[in-house]
A = this chain, B = another copy of it.
Amino acid sequence: MRAHNLALVLHTVANSTDPPSRAAVATATGLTRATVSALVDDLVAGGLLVEVDPPPRTGAGRPAVGLTLTSAGPAGLGLEINVDYLAACVVDLTGAVRHRHVERADQRPADPAQALAALGRLAATARHAAEADGLIVAGAALAVPGLVAGGVVRVAPNLGWQDVDAVAALRAVPELAGLPITVDNEANLAALGELRVTGGPPPTGTAAPTAQAIAAAAPGVTAPAGAAPDPAAAAAGDLPIPGHPWDRRSFLYISGEIGIGAGLVIDGELYRGVRGWSGEIGHVTVYPDGRPCRCGARGCLEQYAGQEALARDEQLAAAALGIALSAVVNLLDVPVIVLGGAYAPIFGSLRDGIEAELRRRVLTAGLAPVTLRPAALGPDAAMRGAADTIIRAVREDPAAWLRRLS
């Protein structure tokens, strides 16, 4: 019961527009003020909430102290290994990115142990930077472009990996000692990251925020010095996030990298497949007798819209994406498609070609519109989603975090 109430109080504070007082939390939760005060004391002592000065008030009476999530407590370490880069980020309890580093290098010549050792160094640096900044890294999650089961990367075709125990390799890094570490498919994690940023709480009739409002609400995001402004974020800024609740909580996230993955979110839940291996849209056939794929089949989407094909012919990529996405919509009646990874920055170039195929090939195109939009998090979505899984675990079970500290 206490565990449930701790989570309820934390959730209430996290979802308030302004820092609420203890009394306001009591009203919102239906708990007594005494109970709320005891729970808040524990959450403050455990470094999850902080008290902030109230805004000046014009009325009479002493204004109450407000509560807000701490930016100096537990943090999630998000890691990503992909075909042409390694990446790490640290996200604090408020969802702000506090550290971000991307190392561009083709990982295919490296064997899994080399690649994981290099990622381990990146992770160690990130952990040091976070702790120097007053954060406590609560755990690490790794995004990989492959099929994952039981912590093991069973197959990552574009990395050339088979049965790689990535978790064990990272556990062996001395600087990561003591951290819980998980691994998951990159498109699944990116879809969760997208949901976290744009999905909002379960629909209760509130107005949908625009992408600009979402971006403005994430002031902690920092880009490395000299980085170009993110064109995906700029493109997203032009578009309101569609207003129907299902537009924000049900979508297919498609991630263009060297390979192509997808994460399907239905009503706020990630669909993982019956055995955990859904989302392999890169191997959906678009031209049955077409280009040979490294998976052994012919005509896979990846051969027409993977990053290498994309660099050669964006319009062919758009048409192939349109054919495969039409299959998704015909089968699943998904109202929104989010273009992530390498697709996000060139959303404007791909959109018309994809939409032309959707109009032509989706049976219900005239009855039920399908909205395309670029990923709100751009190419960082997978590692942000990975870090978010750590943060979400703390926010959903603060009692477990307090026990870990004590």
Contacts and interface: CB of A to CB of B under 8 A. Distances in A.
A328 B283 CA distance: 11
A280 interface: yes
Contact of A283 (B300, B330, B335): B330
Interface string A355-396: 000001111100110000000000000000000000000000
A367 to B, nearest CB: 6
Interface stretch (A123-131, A285-293, A338-346): A285-293
A333 interface: yes
A147 interface: yes
A170 interface: no
Contacts of A286: 285, 288
Contact of A331 (B272, B281, B323, B362): B281
Nearest to A326: B285
Contacts of A276: 333
Interface string A253-293: 00000000010101100011111111111011111100000
A155 interface: yes
A274 B285 contact: no
Contact of A367 (B147, B283, B327, B335): B147
A332 interface: yes
Interface string A140-165: 00000001000000110100000000
A60 interface: no
Interface residues of A, number: 49
A107 interface: no
Interface string A283-325: 1111110000001110010000000000000000000000110
A334 interface: yes
A287 B288 contact: yes
Given A280-B364, A285-B361, A273 B332 contact: yes
Given A284-B331, A285-B323, A361-B285, A246 B262 contact: no
A333 B296 contact: no
B333 A278 contact: yes
Nearest to A296: B360
A250 interface: yes
Contact of A288 (B264, B277, B323): B323
A363 B333 contact: no
B363 A283 contact: yes
A274 B250 contact: yes
A285 B363 contact: no
A154 B272 CA distance: 32
Contacts of A262: 331
B363 A330 contact: no
A147 B324 CA distance: 21
A275 B360 contact: no
A332 B279 CA distance: 6
A273 B361 contact: no
28 contacts: A147-B367, A155-B363, A155-B364, A155-B367, A246-B275, A250-B274, A271-B332, A273-B333, A273-B334, A277-B364, A278-B333, A279-B331, A280-B364, A281-B330, A281-B331, A283-B330, A283-B363, A284-B326, A284-B327, A284-B331, A285-B286, A285-B326, A286-B288, A295-B363, A296-B360, A297-B361, A327-B327, A331-B331
